[in-house]
Structures are given as structure tokens and as C-alpha cells.
Amino acid sequence: MKRIAAIVLKDFQQYLRNVQMYIFMFIMPIGFTLLFGAIFSNPGNTGPIRWNIAVLNLDEGASGAVWMEELANNGTVILTTAETRDTNTLIAAVEEEQYTAALVIPPDFTVQLTQGNTPQVVVYTRGSQDVQDLLSAAFQSAAQVPVVFHQQANLTAAQYQEQTGQEGTAFGEQVLETMLASRKEPEITVEKLSAVPYNSYTQSAPGMILQFAISGMVGIAAILVEEKTEKTFNRIRGTGTSSLSYLVGHGLSFLCLLVIQFSVLILFGQFFLDLAYFQAPWSTLLVAGSIIVCFTAMGLLLGVLAKNMGQSIVFSLLAMFLFSAVGGAWVPLEAMGAGMQIAGKFSPVSWGMQGFKSILINAAGVNEVLQPVWMLGIFTVVFMTAAVILYQLRKEKS
């Protein structure tokens, strides 16, 4: 135990003397978080925003279908007829992000309009207040176009002309004016399914935490390489320190460093970027801890693999760019192609992103983040096992 503590203390002293470490650990992650957050907050799309809306039309009359047709033609939303007739099932589909929102038209929609009453229409959405306002405006805009009244007026005019033999156009216009005067627009109620508002840093903040945590592996890899080249490794081995104790000592020092980095960046996100890490504190602790342990094992493996200082830098940067790009640290995986989404599953960054975004977006509880935690655990076992085996093989050769 004393030997492990000595290794940890020695590594920490080297870390603290490295000024570049502070830049890569704190300044650059915060800077790139703000940069990417600004990019995602204003995508520069000057065209109409189109939302994927599931519609459950329970109307027993014709007005619901007419309103849906008008809504589909206004260019703001993409309507999808719900596959279920159950409102709760539809709400669950919205919560699982299959749809932006769900529109439920009540059975008495036509009856209420005919009687001059105000139909109650409910929209369920997980979106931010901006999304809610846009949806409500789109639905109200469609409701303001009295298509059904024109149809009814035309039908009345035709019946009048058939019965009296007189031109029915003027009579139809009078009927239309009467209906418009007594018309009630549907009352749109938007119900928010999640209390978490949209935040443009939801993607960039955890992404940069993960990316620059990997970049810190340069430090641990450099220490291991330095010990090999300066024969420090042989002196440590001469003290009877086992392979496992040697790796655990170096791993603990890097783990403590990651704990400090994650703590600072999570606190920065919570208090300066209004990210909701603390709405699920135990989930945040579990996901962050799993990532830290996984990246520690990865850092040890890279340090054992590298034979010189140049290789330690190349391996660390390669892991940072490869895992970050494929894992969705820069761009959400769901925005990539099918092939990249499959490849992302082989990056520990993708599972870390999934865990953090589930917390920030859905306030995921512990049970809901167990899948990414388990996957990070598998990566940890693979990295650590490979590091121990490779270290033991090289130790026997030297």
C-alpha cells in the first residue's frame, strides 16, 4: 500500500508542475464548450422549422380531418397519423423522442364547432417553451382557416339552388357569414411532458468534458514512458512492486486528476451554463464515476503501449479525436448516418454522452443510466486487462 501511495504522490507532483495540464484540463474544455454551444444555439436555418407531430384524431365528425389537412398544408409541421388509439401510449412515444409532439383531437370536435362551442385540443410535447409557442401558433393558424365552413356553405348553396331553382351563391355567402360570426376557434392546450428546458450546451458541455479527459492521457502516458527511458521503471521493479500495484498506483493518480477535472467542469455547467446535472445527482455521480474509471484504464493501456514520448502523444491524440468524433462528442450521433451510429457504439464516449444527455434532458434516474454505466464497465475491463497483460509481457522481456 505504501508503494502505491508513493507512486500516486510522485505522479501528482509531476502533474502539478505541468502548466499545460491546466490549459487542457480546464481552459480549453470551457472555451470549446462555449464555442460549440454558440454554434448549436443558432444553426442559421432561415427556412421554416418543421416538427414531426403525431396526430390522434378521435373526432367522430368531419371537421377534425379537415383541420388536419389544413394543418399539414401550412408548411410548419409534418403530420404523422398515430398508430395507436391510446393517448397514454402516444404520450410514451413522445417521451421516447419518436415525435416532437402529439396532437389529440377529441371525439366531439365537430359537434362542439357545430354548436358554437370551443373544442378542447391537447398537445403533448417535451420541447422547450419556444417549441411550445411555435406549435401552438401553427395549430391556431390552421384553425383560423375556416375550410369546413366554406364546404358547408357551398353544400347549403347547392341544396338551396336545387330546391328553389334560384342561384344559390348569394344565399351560400349569407350562410357563411352567419357561421363565421358564431364560430368558435379550438382552444389549444400545450402540456409539457418534461420540466427540463432546452439548453444549447446540452451537447457541447458533456462532449468537451469527455474529449479533453481523453487528451489528459498524454500526461499519464508521458510519465510511464519517462520511467521506462530513465530507468525509473527498473528501480521501482527492484523494490518488489508487483505489476498490478505499479499500474494501480499510476491509475489512481490519473483517476484523482480526472475527479478534479470532472468536478470543476460539472460545477461550471451547473452554475454558469444552467445545465441540470444536479436534478439527478446520484445518476450524475454514477455516470461520471464510470467514465473516470474507464478513461483511467484507457490511459494506462496507452501508456503501456507507447515506447517513446512521441508515441504517447500520438496515441493519446488519436484516441481523443477518434473516440470523440465517432462517439458523438462534436455532433449528436442521431444526426449521423446509420453506419456512424453503429460505429459509435464501439466508442466509450458515445456511452458517456448517452448517460449525461439522459440526465440533462430527461432527468434520468439511476435505473435509467444503468445501460451506459454497464457498457463503460465493459470497456474498463477490456482496457485494464489489456494493460496488465501487455505490461507483464514487456516486463518479462526486459
- Here the CATH number for the domain that contains residue 81 is 3.40.1710.10
The answer to whether 225 and 308 are in contact (CB under 8 A) is yes
Domain annotation covers residue 248: yes
Q: Distance between CA atoms of 19 and 99, rounded to whole angstroms?
A: 48
Q: Are residues 134 and 222 in the same domain?
A: no
Q: Are residues 105 and 36 in the same domain?
A: no
HSE toward the beta carbon, residue 211, CA cutoff 13 A: 25
Q: Are residues 16 and 84 in the same domain?
A: no
Domain termination site, one of 138, 159, 192: 192
Q: Are residues 362 and 240 in the same domain?
A: yes
Q: Are residues 368 and 253 in the same domain?
A: yes
Domain annotation covers residue 213: yes
33, three cell numbers: 464548450
Domain annotation covers residue 318: yes
Write the burial class of residue 83 (CB in 10 Å: 0-12 exposed, 13-18 middle, 19+ buried): exposed
Q: What is the largest CA-CA distance in the chain?
A: 115
Q: Are residues 37 and 56 in the same domain?
A: no
Domain annotation covers residue 236: yes
Domain that holds residue 234: 2-41+198-397
Helix (H, G, I), strand (E, B) or coil at 149: helix
Q: Are residues 208 and 352 in the same domain?
A: yes
Q: Are residues 229 and 352 in the same domain?
A: yes
Domain termination site, one of 159, 192, 225: 192
215, three cell numbers: 487528451
Closest CA to 204 of 196, 193, 216, 212: 212
Domain annotation covers residue 152: no
Tens digits of pLDDT across the chain (398 residues): 677 787 778 777 777 777 777 888 899 999 999 998 887 664 444 444 456 778 888 887 766 776 677 667 655 566 677 777 788 888 888 777 677 778 888 888 777 766 666 777 788 876 555 556 656 665 665 555 445 565 666 677 777 777 787 777 777 667 666 765 665 555 555 555 554 555 779 989 999 999 999 988 877 777 777 776 666 655 555 555 666 677 788 889 889 999 999 999 999 999 999 898 998 999 999 999 999 999 999 999 998 898 888 888 899 889 999 999 999 999 888 778 888 889 999 999 999 999 999 898 778 889 889 999 999 999 999 999 999 898 888 776 66
Domain annotation covers residue 341: yes
Q: Are strands 101-105 and 120-125 parallel, antiparallel or unpaired?
A: antiparallel
* Separation in Å, CA 163 to CA 156, 158, 326, 381: 11, 9, 72, 85
Residue with cell 487528451: 215
Domain annotation covers residue 95: yes
Q: Distance between CA atoms of 72 and 189, rounded to whole angstroms?
A: 19
Q: Are residues 208 and 277 in the same domain?
A: yes
* Separation in Å, CA 257 to CA 188, 219, 220: 52, 10, 10
Domain termination site, one of 192, 218, 253: 192
Q: Are residues 218 and 274 in the same domain?
A: yes
* Separation in Å, CA 260 to CA 23, 243, 268, 274: 14, 26, 12, 20
Closest CA to 196 of 278, 138, 290: 278
Query: Into how many domains does the chain fold?
Result: 2
261, three cell numbers: 477535472
Domain annotation covers residue 171: no
Q: Are residues 282 and 358 in the same domain?
A: yes
121, three cell numbers: 385540443
> What are the helix (H) ranges across 273-308?
281-305
Q: Are residues 256 and 125 in the same domain?
A: no
Instruction: For the beta carbon of residue 39, count every other beta carbon within 10 angstroms.
Output: 14
